[in-house]
Structure 1
C-alpha cells in the first residue's frame, strides 16, 4: 500500500477508536482491539498476520510491565489499607506548615505514591486536602485542589511506578531505572513550577469563592491532630461521571477507627522506598558502567518491586493483621485487572502501527536535529486526551504512533516517553473521572474545577514539554 494510504488508514483507525469510546461508549479495550484489527486488515497485513501482531503486541507489553504493574498496585492497596496516606499528610503538615502544603502534598503524591490506583489515592487524599484548605489561606481550596490534580496526573505518566509511566517505558523499550531517574528530574520542577503559576493566578484574583466553591460545613483539623477523618461531604458527582466514583469511594474508605497508628510511618513506607532506591541504584551503576552481579539482580525492576511487595506484606501483617492484608491484596488484584488489559491492548495498537511501516514513513519527514518529533508526539497525545479523556490511553497511543521512528531519528526513547506523558496531561476536562471526583470531593463548582483541574494540569503539560525539549540537546 502507498504511504498516503497507510497514513489515511492509521488516521481513520485512531479516529474510530476515539469515536467508539466517546460517542458510542464502547469499552476502551474493545475499541483499541477493533482499531488495531481495522488498521492491519486495511493496510494489507492479512487476517493471520493481523491477529498475530495484535496478540504479539499484547504479549510483549505484558512481558515488559505486566508483573511490575501488578506488584505496584498490590503494594499501593496494602499501604492504603494501613492508613499510610493519612498519616503521611499529617506528617507533611507538621514539617512544612499549612502555607507550603500545596507544594509538599503535590510533590509527595507525584513522586512517592504512584503505586496507588489513581481514583483510590484521590478519594483518600482529597478529604485531607479539603480539611487543610482553610489553613492555607483565602484561596486554600483552589490551591489544594490544583495541587492534587497536578500531582496525581503528572505522577501517573511521568513517574515510575505510575501505570502510565510503566506502560510508556515498556512500549518504547526504556529501561525502568532510566525512566525513574529522568521522570523524577522532570516531574519535580514541572509540579513545583505549575503549582507556583496557579497559586500566583489564584492570589491575584482569578478565584471567586462565591462562584467557584460549593458552600458546605467545613470541619477544620487542628495542627496537632494526628487522626484524620475520611469524610467526603460536598456535592454529588454527575451521574454520568461513571461508576468509578462510587467504586473508588468504597475501595478507599479507611477510618481512623480501623487504622492502627502504633507503627512508625517510615516503617510502613520503607519497603516501597527501598524498592525505588534499588531501581535507581541499578540505573546509576549502568550509566557509570559499573557491574556487580548481586546489585544487578536486586536492582532489576521486577526483583526490586517484588522485594518491596514482600516487605510491605510483612509490615502489613504486623500493623493491621493478616486478614486485612489479604483483603487489600484482593482489592489490588481487582484494580490491576483493568489496568493490565488496557495497557496490553495499547501495546497491540502500537505493534500494529509499527507492523504497517508507519515509522519508516514518518522518518522521511523528520530529522534528528530538531524538536519536531517531540512536539508532534505531545500534540498527538494532547488531542487524543481531549477526545478520549484518559491520560493513560492517550499517552500509550501517541507513543505507539511515533515509537517506530525513534531509531531512525537517533532520539533517545525516554524523550518520546516523557513527551507523550506531557501531552496526555493537556486539558483534563468533563470526560475525565478525575474531574468529577475533584469537583465533588474538594467542594468545587464545575467552573471552579475547570480552573483547578483543566487549566492547572494543562499548565503542567506545557511546562513539562518545555522542560523536555532542552533534554533532547543533551541526550
Structure 2
C-alpha cells in the first residue's frame, strides 16, 4: 500500500537523522532511493528522478534564498538591520515585539512567496534576538507562522491561484474571503505557539554566518530611511507585479517589464545591487568589504540549500512513484460535504507528497466535478483546498528543512514546532471556510 511506504520511509528518515545522527542531505537521498526502488521506479531512471527533484527545488529556491541571504548579510554588516530592529522595538515596545513581527510578516507576505519574505525578514528577527537576548523562536516563530498562513491561504500565491484557475473562481473574491480567515487564524497561532511549554523549552542559537555579531552604535548605523527603502524595494517590486497581473490585461511591453522586474530573483538581484552601493561606497565602505559580506552569506547557505534540494528529490520520488494517483483513486467514491472533502484530500496529499502545490493541484482535479452540481461557491472550494495544503508539514516538505536549518533546530524539535502549527492552521482554516459559507447562506 503506497501510504504505508510513505509512513515507513518517514520513520526510517527520522531514525537515520535522530538516532544515527546522519547528515540530512545524505539521509534524504538514501531514503529517496529506497522509496523509488520499492515503488517500482526503473533503476536506470532513479538518478534522473532525483536530479529533477533536486533541480526543480533548487531552481525555485536557490536564487531567492541565496540573493536574499546576501541582502540580509550586507544590511546586517553595516547596521541597517539593527536600525530596523531598533525601530520596531522602539515603536511596539519590547513587550510587543511578537506583534511587530506578525504585522510585518502579514503585510509583506500577502503578495510574496514564503521563501522570499522569509529571507527578507529573518535578518531583522536575528538582529532583534541578538540585541534583546530573546529566545530565537520567541521572535522568529510568529514571523514564520504569519508568512505560512499568507502563502498557503491566499492568492496571488501559486497554490491558491492555480486552484482558482481550475475552479474558474474569482481571484479577487477568493482573496477577500480568505483575508477574513487568514488574518485572525494566523495571528492567533503566531501569538499562542511560542508560549506553549514544548516550544519554550527549545532554545536554538542563530546559525553562524547569517547575521553580523557586531553591535553598532547610533552613529555607526545608516539612517532609517535608507534602511527601510532597501528592505522594501523587493516588496514593492514583487507586490506591484502581482497587483498589475491581477488588475491589467493585454500584451504591452510595459506589462512585460513590470512582470520581469517583479519576479522574485530579479527583484532581489536589483535590491542586492542597490544594497551594495547604499551600504558600501555611499557610506564609505569599500566594495571588498561588501563582497566579503556576500561571500559569508553564500558559505552559510551551502548546506541549507543542499538539504532543501534533497527534500525536493524525496518529494519527486513520491510523485513519480504514483502516490498522488493512488490517493486520487482512493477518494473517488467518498460521499461527504464538498468543502470537507476538498480539504481532506488536500491534507492527505500534503502528508504523502510534501509539496503544497502538488497537493492543491491534484486535490482540485479530484473535487472539480463536485462544483458542476452547484451549491458551493468556487471561491470557498479554493480556500478549502488551500487550507488543507498547509497541514502536517514534515520531512518530505522542502519548506520544513528551510525552517529547520534557519532556526537551527533538531528534526524532532522542527516537527514539534512546525508540523503542529501547520496542522492547527489547516484545521482553523477549514473552520473559517465553513463559517464563511454559513454567513453567505444566511444572507
What is the number of equivalent residue pairs in this alignment? Answer: 381
- TM superposition shift of 1:324: 3.0
CA drift at 1:37: 0.7
User: What's the TM-score once normalised by structure 1's chain length?
Assistant: 0.64
Aligned-residue CA RMSD (Å)? 4.8
Q: SS at the partner of 1:290?
A: coil
Q: Tell me the CA shift for residue 97 of structure 1.
A: 4.4
Instruction: Indicate whether 1:149 and 2:141 are aligned.
Output: yes
Kept after mapping to 2: 8 A contact 1:77/1:116: no
1:223 maps to which residue?
A: none
- Superposed, 1:85-234 pairs within 5 Å as 85-97=81-93, 100-108=96-104, 114-115=118-119, 123-130=126-133, 146-152=138-144, 154-155=146-147, 157=148, 188-194=183-189
Q: CA deviation at 1:467?
A: 2.9
Query: Whole-Å Cα distance in 1 between the matches of residues 6 and 95 of structure 2?
Result: 49
Match of 1:364, SS state, is helix
The answer as to whether partners of 2:85 and 2:124 remain within 8 angstroms in 1 is no
Whole-angstrom CA distance in 2 between matches of 1:105 and 1:126:
12
Listed as ranges, the gaps of 5+ residues in structure 2 are 109-116, 165-170, 369-380, 395-399, 438-443
- 1:301 aligned residue (261, 264, 269): 264
Q: Which digits, 9 at most, give the CA deviation of each residue in 1:109-168, with x for residues without a partner?
A: 6665622595x655422243458xxxxxxxxx9xx974543224544x4567x9xx9xx9
- CA offsets 1:336-384 (integer angstroms, 9 cap, x no match): 2222222222221121111111111101233692335645765897x89
For 1:28 and 1:459, locate their aligned partners in 2 and report how far apart those are by CA, in whole Å.
22
> Which deviations, in whole Å up to 9, do the C-alpha atoms of 1:79-99 show, x marking residues without a partner?
222222322232224434455
Measured in 2, the distance between the counterparts of 1:315 and 1:250 equals 20
Matching of residue 265 in structure 1 with residue 265 in structure 2? no
Q: Distance in 2 between matches of 1:250 and 1:65?
A: 17
Mapped contact 1:268–1:312 kept (Cα < 8 A): no
Q: Is the 8 A contact 2:53 2:315 kept in 1?
A: yes
Is 1:467–2:418 an aligned residue pair?
A: no
Taking the aligned partners of 2:119 and 2:12, their CA distance within structure 1 comes to 32
Unaligned 5+ segments in structure 1 are 132-140, 215-235, 385-395, 438-448
Using a 3 Å threshold, how does the CA distance of structure 1 residues 127 and 297 change in structure 2: closer, same or farther? closer
Deviation for aligned residue 1:329: 0.2
Matched, 1:63 2:59: yes
- Which residue of 2 is the match for residue 7 of structure 1? 3
Aligned to 1:445: none
Alignment of 1:312-331 (within 5 A): 312-317=275-280, 318-319=282-283, 321=285, 322-331=287-296
CA contact (8 A) 1:67 1:302 kept: yes
Question: How far off its partner does 1:55 sit?
Answer: 0.9
